[in-house]
Every structure is written in C-alpha cells, then in structure tokens.
Amino acid sequence: MASLATKDTGTLLKRCMSVASDVLKLPGNHVCMDYDEEADVLYMSFRRPQRASQTEETDDGILIRKDGKKIVGLTILNASQR
C-alpha cells in the first residue's frame, strides 16, 4: 500500500477536495475505488456487494456493471491515460 510523506499532505488534501463534490454526485451513498497500477485499471463500486447481472462495454474502454437498470460499478481501462 502506498503512503505519503507529511510534506505531501497538503497536496493530497487539495486533490481530494477538488473531487469531493463530484464523488458525492455518484449513484448511491457508498463508493469504493480500487486501482490496479500494473494493469492500469480503476474499479469503482457503488454498492457492496456489487453483484452485477450484466456488463456493457463502451467504445472508449469503460465497462459498465449493472444490476437490472441500476449501475452498480464501473471498470475503467487505461485509467492513468484519461
């Protein structure tokens, strides 16, 4: 697990605050994110357990996980290049 030096705390806080309002607009009240650096894939889940019944792939490399009509998660390929 990565950790930050104390001098990086201010930068981390600024970055987190800049995305906080956008995160609050995501579906549900639970957001979990995991990043696989080796594969460069970001996994986002909007509920636990995710239990998707279907997956749709977009033209730009995003997998949309659904349970019925509800989006329960996203898998974003090549995440660092976006």
- As a three-state string, the secondary structure of 52-69 is CCEEEECCCCEEEEEECC
Which region among 1-15, 34-48, 49-63 has the lowest average model confidence (pLDDT)? Answer: 1-15
Q: At 81, is the pLDDT very low, low, confident or very high (cuts 50, 70, 90)?
A: very high
CA atoms of 20 and 43, how far apart (whole Å): 18
Indicate the average pLDDT of the chain. Answer: 87
Domain count, the chain: 1
Domain limits for position 68: 29-82
Q: How far apart are the first and last CA of the chain?
A: 23
Domain membership of residue 73 (yes or no) is yes
pLDDT for the residue 7: 65
Q: At 27, is the pLDDT very low, low, confident or very high (cuts 50, 70, 90)?
A: confident
Domain membership of residue 59 (yes or no) is yes
Asked whether the predicted pLDDT for residue 68 surpasses 70, the reply is: yes
Per the CB < 8 A criterion, the answer to whether 2 and 12 are in contact is: no
Domain membership of residue 24 (yes or no) is no
Domain membership of residue 13 (yes or no) is no
